Structure 1
Amino acid sequence: MTASAPQPWRPLQRLLGLISDLRLAIALLLLIALGSGIGTAIPQQESEGFYHQRYDPAPWLGLLHGDGVLALQLDHVYSSGWFLALLAWLGLSLLLCSWRRQWPALSASLRWIDYRSPRQLSKLSVAQTLVCADSQAALERLDLELRRQGWSIRRQDDRLAARRGVAGRVGPLLVHAGLVVLMVGAAWGALGGQRLEQFLAPGRELELMDSRGRTQLTVALDAFAIERDPAGRPEQFRSELRLIPPGPDAVPAPAQPDQGLPSPSSVPDGGEVVPRALRAEISVNHPLRHRGMTLYQADWALAALNVQLGRSPVLQLPLQSLPQLGEQVWGVVMPTRPDGSEPVLLTLSSEEGPVQVFGSDGLRVAQLVPGGEAQEVLGLPIRVASVLPASGILLKRDPGVPLVYAGFAIALMGGGLSLLATRQLWAISEPAAARLHVAGLCNRNLTAFAAELPQLLSRVAADRD
């Protein structure tokens, strides 16, 4: 008696078969697509107050308030536990499918099968018999014809085996491998990536630090411009940046008339080569990539008003957003008396002005033009010298991007190879019956292969003549 397979392995085999099932992989893909759609519909990585302010009055889809969005981790879908679990589950399913199905199929296609009798060939999908006076010579001609067409041949005295397109069997494995690499890169980027959005006014700097508090890079904004259409609507935002490397040896590049990139290094008086700041410009849809970090031109705002009160020096008053007055309205409350009494509210919605001045009763008392003449407001001459805009810069560091790109490339390569049909062909010479038996298999477009086989045999018979 032969020992049966150990019983404890059967539940494990059933579990592996369930995980590697194609239907489960499709369901996981649909869930991941649904999660990605939710992540697109709901703003990501905002403050908790943002979600309460947005979804408490009007629940998302009429179902979820701010607490529900936060509880389900919909504020950071791509780094949430459930989304990463779906990616891990799909990756495991693809690996098991490759191990249980694709790898055995590739191994089988690499093994040469030796059919020895015509009866074995007659059971294959495509089979045909050529009647000829010299079947051995016909076999020789078939051998030469197949080699001319690029087939790999294994020859015996009275038979041959041929195959072509074995690389097509590698395609599904590469597709699965590419998807797994892509998901690993996406998960790594979600967990190890950094995202920072900051408004910078010209002349200001932003230091990027590592986990130990050491400066990795300093981003300085030299100039910011807003391009508007004839109707005054913003069309494009442009920021001129300097990226200053860390360390005391970094030499900030002074402002120069031309906006070309400076040399990557300079030689100070001591003769030591030190890095210089890198000049670059970013705008909407034209980000800057530098050392694994990407800087996007994301938004704009108004940072400050340069105001002169009477004969005083020009004072810089920081502006605050006033959403209760409009979507893009900024303002500042300024007293008009030395004791802080009789304040006025200065508001504006564009760096070009005008600046509206409202009294404590809510009535407009003046309208100022940036760079224009001073006007008397409650007995105090006020002049707006200029408006300082701020550039909204979004910085992203995603360590998984190389893996994501590599995964796409591997998957595309595998998809291209999967289009190749793997064909196998066998021929047996039967001199006693003056016949040449030919049969074959094909994993893709079997109908075309069945139509090509008679043409191949006709060329072999024509060479005989």
Structure 2
Amino acid sequence: MSSTPSASRSFIRLAAWISDLRVAIGLLVVIAIASGVGTAIPQKEPEGLYHQLYDDQPWLGLLNADRLLDLQLDHVYSSTWFLGLLAWLGLALVLCSWRRQWPALQAALRWIDYRSPRQLSKLSVAQSLPAEDAGACLSRLELLLRQRGWQVQRHSDRLAARRGVLGRVGPLLVHAGLVVLLVGAAWGVLGGQRAEQFLAPGRSLDLIDSRGHSQFMLALDAFNVERDPAGRPEQFRSQLRLLDNSETGDPSLLRQAEISVNHPLRFHGVTFYQADWSLAAISVQLGRSPVLQLPLQTFPQLGEQVWGLVLPTRPDGSDPVLLSLSSEQGPVDVYGADGRLIGSLAVGGEPLEVNALPLRVSGVLPASGILLKRDPGVPLVYSGFAIAMVGGALSLLATRQLWAIAEDTPASGRLHVAGLCNRNLTAFATELPLLLSRVDAGRD
């Protein structure tokens, strides 16, 4: 029988420790540091990239690729330890609300009946007003308080009043909003989908849900790279069409829009971000051949953003040359099999003699890098922010409580007034004498 009280005391001590303000602050600091690590380290990339980046030069001089992957730092926000921190913080907020905020709200809603002046004298702000007719002064005080928006509970010789009780709801709403936000963030990480696709103009992509059913089709009509005078990319713009291909026949248009960097498109729970760009294909003519559109591939060994292809110049596939370029505007550099630069071609310009054959580049087809992201937790995240903001605004309201007792004696009467305030007590202490002066002036 004695084990039950002991277990209860242990649970209470554990709940008190989890909901301690210092523990919550420590959790927030750890979560902030973890978020910074997730920003500094590329997330959800192939393992080879981490070995390429951190095998020779460990991150911060401490963590090589294997250690970094073991600690799940390649996917911080979906790692088990980060989600565990979020769950811990959410539990701390719930326990804090249960142990502190909810009792505080209940106490604010409960009317306290002070019956003697001695009880009032022990409160934070207390004052007595001489009065020949203390009962009449009490009635005038009641009227003034009601006119100023106070809730008043009146007895024959005393009253209790309160204002700003909604301020006690504020901290509860802040905690509730943060918990909803944390749930939404975790749900988005666990149930969300993320994919990046490079799409060339005139091509389309079927979007498939988790059950393998086609949702709609994404078609790219045009893609444009805006560059500064030095040729550096400044902005990317994609003209998109979303088509319903669930019916037989021609797909029907659902939405047509332009996306660019920092201006995504949201449709049916999917967000389309303009994330990157690439070069998809090059159109070349070798000798008297027809214009051929050939796919381009990246060449990291030549540079960060360099595309190209190996093009044979003989029917038997011999005498290849390497075409490389870093922009859809060109120029296209031509290298021989020995790595020697043969020359450069302007896109749409004059041909270049290569291995006794004229080689001409008629066009380069850029590709739009579109990031598709489905986050089912977004409504909860937005709702959590809204609830927390409303709670924060309500928390600014000061909760004030006031009591008054009319004491009539044969010699002289007195009106005893006292009050409490959870915020800006100095202002309340200044307002109380002004209020009593209005009561006193009403006797004239």
TM range (shorter): over 0.9
SS of equivalent to 2:300: coil
Question: CA shift at 1:322, angstroms?
Answer: 1.1
Query: CA-to-partner distance for each residue in 1:364-385, whole Å, 9 max, x for gaps?
Result: 1122111112222011111111
Moved more, 341-350 or 211-220: 211-220
Question: CA shift at 1:250, angstroms?
Answer: 6.7
1:430 aligns with 2:407: yes
- 1:223 — aligned with what? 222
Question: Would you say the 8 A contact 2:216–2:246 is kept in 1?
Answer: no
SS of equivalent to 1:372: coil
Question: CA shift at 1:153, angstroms?
Answer: 0.3
SS of equivalent to 2:26: helix
- 1:63 — aligned with what? 62
Question: Would you say the 8 A contact 1:244–1:251 is kept in 2?
Answer: no
What are the within-5 Å matches in structure 2 for residues 312-461 of structure 1? 312-432=289-409, 433-461=412-440
Letter in 2 for 1:25: A
Give the TM-score taking structure 2 as reference length: 0.97
- 2:95 — aligned with what? 96
Question: Would you say the 8 A contact 1:251–1:277 is kept in 2?
Answer: no
SS of equivalent to 1:299: strand
- 1:20 — aligned with what? 19
Question: Would you say the 8 A contact 1:243–1:279 is kept in 2?
Answer: yes
1:308 aligns with 2:285: yes
Q: Distance in 1 between matches of 2:256 and 2:169?
A: 46
Question: CA shift at 1:53, angstroms?
Answer: 1.1
Q: Distance in 2 between matches of 1:340 and 1:37?
A: 51
Query: CA-to-partner distance for each residue in 1:281-336, whole Å, 9 max, x for gaps?
Result: 11111111111111111111111111111111111121111121112111111111
Question: Would you say the 8 A contact 1:250–1:276 is kept in 2?
Answer: no
What are the within-5 Å matches in structure 2 for residues 267-278 of structure 1? 275-278=252-255
Letter in 2 for 1:42: I
Query: What residue ranges of structure 2 are gaps of 5+ in the alignment?
Result: none
- 1:134 — aligned with what? 133
Flag the 1:250–1:460 CA change in 2: closer, same or farther, 3 A: farther
Query: CA-to-partner distance for each residue in 1:129-181, whole Å, 9 max, x for gaps?
Result: 00111111111110111111110000000100000000000000000000000
Give the TM-score taking structure 1 as reference length: 0.93
Query: What residue ranges of structure 1 are gaps of 5+ in the alignment?
Result: 253-274
Number of residue pairs the alignment of both structures matches: 441
Question: Would you say the 8 A contact 2:401–2:421 is kept in 1?
Answer: yes
- 1:47 — aligned with what? 46
Q: Distance in 1 between matches of 2:97 and 2:344?
A: 72
Question: CA shift at 1:276, angstroms?
Answer: 2.3
Question: CA shift at 1:5, angstroms?
Answer: 8.3
Letter in 2 for 1:367: S
The RMSD of aligned alpha carbons is 1.4
SS of equivalent to 1:44: coil
Q: Distance in 2 between matches of 1:319 and 1:426?
A: 82
- 2:442 — aligned with what? 463
Q: Which 4+ stretches in 1 moved above 4 angstroms? A: none
SS of equivalent to 2:6: coil
SS of equivalent to 2:97: helix
Percent of aligned pairs sharing the same letter:
72
Flag the 1:14–1:22 CA change in 2: closer, same or farther, 3 A: same
1:235 aligns with 2:234: yes
Query: CA-to-partner distance for each residue in 1:62-121, whole Å, 9 max, x for gaps?
Result: 111111221111111111100110011111111011011100110011010111111111
Question: Would you say the 8 A contact 2:241–2:253 is kept in 1?
Answer: no
